[in-house]
Copies of this chain bind each other. A is one copy, B any other.
Amino acid sequence: MVAETAAHDVFLDIFDGGPTQELAPGEVLLHAGARADHVYNIESGMLMVSRTGGDGRRQVLSFLVRDNFVGLTATEHYFFTVEAVTASRVVCCPRRVLTERLASDGEAERTFMNMLYRVLEDAYDLVYNLGQRNAAERLAVFLLYIRYWKRLSEDITDDADGRLDKVDLPMSREDIADFLGLKKETVSRSFRQLEERRLISRRERTGVRIESLPELRELAGIRDFASPRRLASPT
């Protein structure tokens, strides 16, 4: 895990001293179809990547946190829309700078490619989740996913005091629904179901406490997430 961070740092310096941008909740950082001129790194907050069909149906593809990349694409245009879930700060870097860095630095390029592989594995995790699991199982996977991110973005290695079992869900029920391929009412009912089975408890709007991690994992059918770090997301 530490090695992973170090590897990532190999080219994080392209953002050093770059202009930062503050985003309010709901603010859009970049639109699907716009020219892909820049890449961003997240300094704080949470962003959301989504794709909306011609008929308005929206699929949320991922949630991004600190040190995740935004704006990666092989083409001239962004494929997805990225917006802020919570107040966030991002650093900007011309896409050309990243490109040139990768072209001139073999180690950076290999590291970057490993990042892409991880993102791909995440995408396939989501495919499995949507294709094979029911509503409660999808929500269980989602909670473990968020918990995992929290560990990473807060650099928690030891969880003796159980901080990891209190996860915060700043996104709306509808955002969660669009991520899990469900409707918001079904998400609500699935929360209640997990609560009645004593796997979680809730406080206020966004707070969830994991009461039984083993049972939640069993429901999710997951030992743990395979990828040691989720670093990038193309758009």
Contact = CB atoms under 8 A, between A and B. Distances in A.
Interface of A: 51, 53-55, 57-59, 61, 72-75, 79-80, 103, 106, 109-110, 112-114, 116-121, 123-124, 126-128, 130-133, 178, 180-181, 221, 226, 234
Nearest to A53: B221
A63 to B, nearest CB: 14
B120 A116 contact: yes
Nearest to A110: B103
B51 A128 contact: yes
Contact of A126 (B75, B103, B114, B127): B127
A73, A74, A80, A178 — which one has the most chain B CB atoms within 10 A of its CB? A74
Contact of A123 (B53, B114, B127): B127
26 contacts: A51-B124, A53-B132, A55-B221, A58-B132, A59-B132, A61-B124, A72-B117, A74-B114, A74-B117, A74-B118, A75-B117, A79-B226, A80-B124, A109-B113, A112-B113, A116-B117, A116-B120, A119-B120, A120-B120, A120-B123, A123-B123, A123-B124, A123-B127, A127-B130, A131-B180, A131-B181
Ranked nearest first, the 4 interchain pairs of A and B with the lowest CB-CB distance are: A131-B181, A74-B117, A123-B123, A130-B130
Contacts of A61: 124, 127
Contacts of A178: 131
Contacts of A54: 221
Contact of A130 (B53, B73, B121, B131): B131
Contact of A74 (B73, B75, B113, B130): B113
Contacts of A128: 51, 53, 59
A118 B234 CA distance: 11
B53 A120 contact: no
Nearest to A133: B57
Contacts of A133: 57
A59 to B, nearest CB: 5
A27 to B, nearest CB: 23
A132 B55 CA distance: 11
Given A51-B128, A73-B117, A131-B180, 4 more contacts: A61-B127, A74-B114, A113-B113, A119-B120
